[in-house]
Amino acid sequence: MMTTYAVAHLRNVRMGPEIIDYLQSIDGTLAPFNGCFIIHGGEKQELEGAFTDDLIVLAFPDRHSANAWYRSDPYQAILPKRCASSEGEVFLIDGVDEDHRATDILAREMATDS
């Protein structure tokens, strides 16, 4: 099984009652799906370009767990609070194993081109 990450790129986050309630509630939605925060509110050090937005990364044991969390009733109940308090994109992406090398992507691209 490959770890799946839920990545949120958020802009214009407005701290108010809705986002505070969302933040106070989200941890309880993650536990049943073995989800956890990997990146959330850490100090950024810009190396190239300017990035003033927020990046949040959650880890799940697999794609099924990540999808089940996102679609769960408890998460869907609080999701409108985040949406009302921010703008951005959210997506799922699979991780790679520890043996992954940068050139592995080339083999995958060549296979899809043929």
Angle between helices 63-71 and 73-85 (to 10 degrees): 70
CA angle 47–53–58, rounded 5-degree value: 95
pTM of the complete model beyond 0.85: yes
Residue bearing the bigger pLDDT, 53 or 110: 53
What domain range is 71 assigned to?
4-113
Confidence class of residue 98 from pLDDT cuts 50, 70 and 90? Answer: confident
Angle between helices 17-30 and 73-85 (to 10 degrees): 150
Q: Is 79 helix (H, G, I), strand (E, B) or coil?
A: helix
Report the number of distinct structural domains present in the chain: 1
Per residue in 33-90, pLDDT tens?
Answer: 999 999 998 888 999 998 889 999 999 999 999 999 999 999 999 999 999 999 999 9
Residue 13 CA to residue 86 CA, distance in Å, equals 4
Average pLDDT over residues 1-7: 93
Please report which helix (H) or strand (E) contains residue 21, including its range.
Answer: helix 17-30
Residue in this structure with the two tokens 């958020």, named with its chain if needed: 10
What's the CATH code of the domain at 19?
Answer: 3.30.70.100
